[in-house]
Amino acid sequence: MYAHAHRRLSPPQRRHRRYFVLMGVCLVLFVLAWSVVRLWSVPVAVAMCVVAMVIPPVAAVIGNRREPGERWWDESGDPESDRWWRELDDRDDQDRRRS
């Protein structure tokens, strides 16, 4: 019945999900701050907005951070270029193992 709940997400899907969750939290903080919390405490509402103001840049960093072994930034589609980059990465790995 819930087979889709156990499906592994790909790295881009995880990044998108994290980004949208953080941005959702940001929106909820803004809406709650000025529709509910301000009725009891304006300083708390302002503090909530300050926290919400920090979330978008953090969400952008988290949304664009690559996971280990992920090579989405330098795969050009050019087989020669991709082969060259893989060769360089293999050399770096071998140098690290020797150290």
* Same-domain status, 12 and 50: yes
Q: What is the pLDDT of residues 20-66, one digit of tens each?
A: 999 999 999 999 999 999 999 999 999 999 999 999 999 999 888 87
* Same-domain status, 58 and 85: no
* Same-domain status, 57 and 13: yes
Domain count within the chain:
2
* Same-domain status, 57 and 77: no
* Same-domain status, 21 and 46: yes
* Same-domain status, 15 and 58: yes
Q: How many residues does the chain have?
A: 99
pLDDT at 84: 79
Instruction: Provide the residue range defining the domain that includes 56.
Output: 1-65
C-alpha count within 13 angstroms, C-beta hemisphere, residue 98: 6
* Same-domain status, 45 and 1: yes
* Same-domain status, 22 and 53: yes
Distance between CA 51 and CA 25 in Å, rounded?
10
* Same-domain status, 60 and 75: no
* Same-domain status, 75 and 55: no
CB-based burial of residue 29 (10 Å sphere; 0-12 exposed, 13-18 middle, 19+ buried)? buried
pTM over 0.75: no
Whole-number average pLDDT of the chain: 81
* Same-domain status, 9 and 28: yes
